[in-house]
Amino acid sequence: MSEALDKRTSPAPRPRGKLNVPKVTLAHGGGGKAMRDLVDDVFVRAFDNPLLATLEDQARFRLADLSAQGDRLAMTTDSYVVDPLFFPGGDIGKLAVCGTVNDLAVGGAVPLYLSCSVIIEEGIEVETLRRIARSMAEAAAEANVMIVTGDTKVVHHGQCDKIFINTSGVGVIREGIDLGAGNARPGDIVLVNGVLGDHGATILKSRGDLALDAAIESDCAPLGDLISTLLAAAPGTRFIRDATRGGVASVLNEIAIASDAGIEIDETATPIREEVKGVCEILGLDPMYLANEGKIVCIVPEDQSANALAALRAHPYGREACAIGRVTGQRRGRVVMNTVLGGKRIVDMLVGEQLPRIC
């Protein structure tokens, strides 16, 4: 971790607050001692790093340290409102860190610092917040990022659904890396780093109202390291995007339009877990539109695709990486799937939300 800390000596940090109540009340958002107790004892304690420990209104970084790592700063933001808060394979906290880290990493940036703003519904259990904060800290540690500043608000019962989290993040992009959705060219290969749809299927079954039981878990994971490995092995990589809401199908459509190219994918090559297929068959959903939280779509030049695949497969988050299709010059702006049957169909942009079918 770079030494971006302002080296002027600061006065000894004030004593940390302590939270001894079971539930959060409006007072904890009021700006007074109660809020200090909440912030200190739940968030600062969990995130525990020198930048945060100054407890200033802002985190400060030496520009020289940043420009030593690259020539551009990347910044992103995302809000997390998932329901349920906890699900197999993760929780809203882990999502909030990994999602923002990945949004930086797919742009070729090394993720460095995150902010964390929370809006909490009064009445939520403090223990729930602690679990979420701990989870965020673990994810941040794995992703090698620090959560350096934040904000806390508490709203009336019913004004938000338990907790909403926003994380913004910054990272530095090394010189020479220039990924973009418009870079795809005919002949390029489309890669993914593993099975598709696990997160979306997990959330569906975890909501409980569909009463489905299956051994599936969210694939939520921080992919900064995976992406660095990929870029080292395939420096000509055109574009990377994480396939979150709207799934792989949506990302492919975005690329096809931005690059004014056609994309062709082979249904037989799309890797999907049996249980996810089962959920989709029961509900009449298409796994290509299900959300992923640990999967990327990569467009790589054909002559670097073998190296790219090897690099992905050598990494714990890419063991099942594979090629699912190619960029073409036909049907520009559209994504076409070669069906398992040998026919072809369009894979369109998702309209609204994918709803389970009865027919």
Partner 1 sequence: MCLGIPGQIVEIRDTVRQLGLVDVAGVRREVNLACVVGDDHRIADCIGDWVLVHVGFAMSRIDEEEARATLKILEDIGEVQESLAAMRAGDEAMQTNGTGGAS
Partner 2 sequence: MKYVDEFRDPAKARALIGEINVQVARIETCKSRPLAIMEVCGGHTHAIFKYGIEQMLPDAVELVHGPGCPVCVLPMGRVDDCVALAETPGVIFTTFGDAMRVPGSKKSLMQAKADGADIRMVYSPLDALAIARSNPDKEVIFFGLGFETTMPSTALTILQAEAEGIRNFSLFCNHITIIPTMEAICSSPDLKLDGFLGPGHVSMVIGEAPYRFIAERYKRPLVISGFEPLDVLHSIAMVLKQIAEGRAEIENQYSRIVPKNGNEQAQAAISRVFELREFFEWRGLGSIDHSGVRIRDAYAHYDAERKFAVPALKIADPAACQCGDVLKGLLKPQDCKVFGRACTPETPLGALMVSSEGACAAYYQYGDLDREPVGEDA
- Regarding beta strands 146-155 and 109-121, do their DSSP bridges make them parallel or antiparallel, or are they unpaired? parallel
Residue 124, interface with partner 2 (CB under 8 A)? no
Among 35, 333, 308, residue whose Cα is nearest residue 324: 308
Asked whether the beta carbons of 269 and 324 are under 8 A apart, the reply is: yes
Q: Tell me how far, at minimum, the Cβ of 54 lies from partner 1, in Å.
A: 50
Read off the amino acid at residue 256: A
What's the N-to-C CA distance of the chain in angstroms?
54
Least spacing, CB of residue 359 vs partner 1, in Å: 5
Residue 279 touches partner 1, criterion: CB under 8 A: yes
Q: Which does 341 bind (CB under 5 to 8 A by kind): partner 1, partner 2, none?
A: partner 2
For partner 1, what does the binding mask look like between residues 124 and 163, x meaning CB under 8 A? ----------------------------------------
178 vs 274 by CB, closer to partner 2: 274
Least separation in angstroms between residue 195's CB and partner 1 is 13
- The answer to whether 215 contacts partner 1 (rule: CB under 8 A) is yes
Q: Which residues of 275-292 are buried (b: 16+ CB within 10 A; e: fewer)?
A: bbeebbeebebebbbbbb
Window 187-216: residues binding partner 2 (CB under 8 A): 209-211
The residue count of the chain comes to 359
Piece of 52-60, 206-214, 230-238, 319-327 that binds partner 1 (CB under 8 A): 206-214
Please tell me the distance from the alpha carbon of residue 310 to that of residue 307, in angstroms, as a whole number.
5
| Cα gap 84→94, rounded to integer Å | 13
Contact 112, 2 (CB under 8 A): yes
Chain positions contacting partner 2, by CB under 8 A? 209-211, 274, 277-278, 281-284, 331, 336, 339-346, 348, 351-352, 355-359
Q: Given the rule CB under 8 A, which residues bind partner 1?
A: 205, 211-215, 274-275, 277-279, 281-282, 284, 357-359
